[in-house]
Amino acid sequence: MMQVICDHLGLGVKTGLPYIWHSKASNPFVNLKKEYKGLYWQEELIPFFQSVSLSKECTTPQKCYLELSKQVKAKLGKVDDYFNKLADSMVTWIEAWEELNPSASPKSDALPNGSAN
């Protein structure tokens, strides 16, 4: 999701090896049972993310994330109810972010060169 948003905003994304290395033995049959839905979901997820686009009104990561949440609900909600819950959680995340980081949220009434007196 973040790659879609960063591409839309013209931002770079750093990728590479994980900073934390996880190497514990696991049971592949237990893993398959936990992750089997993902095998079916990818038939919908891959085309969704390959074709998703964001409107020109999405000028901040927050606006992009909210618009993406609407598309997730509309297009992936039919695949599994998990995606409806995911979309709702995406909105909750942005609401919490903006409440806890008011200086990070752009103000529509902000003046670019300071306040006018």
- Write out pLDDT tens, residues 37-81: 988 999 999 999 999 999 999 999 999 999 999 999 999 999 999
Residue with tokens 């909105």: 91
Tracing tokens 């992936």 back to the chain, one arrives at: 76
Q: What is the rounded average pLDDT of the residues 17-24?
A: 74
At a CB cut-off of 8 Å and minimum separation 6, what does 21 contact?
none
pLDDT band at 103 (very low <50, low <70, confident <90, very high): confident
- For residue 49, what are the contacts with CB-CB under 8 A and spacing of at least 6? 1, 4
pLDDT at residue 111 greater than cutoff 50: no
pLDDT band of 25, cuts 50, 70, 90: confident
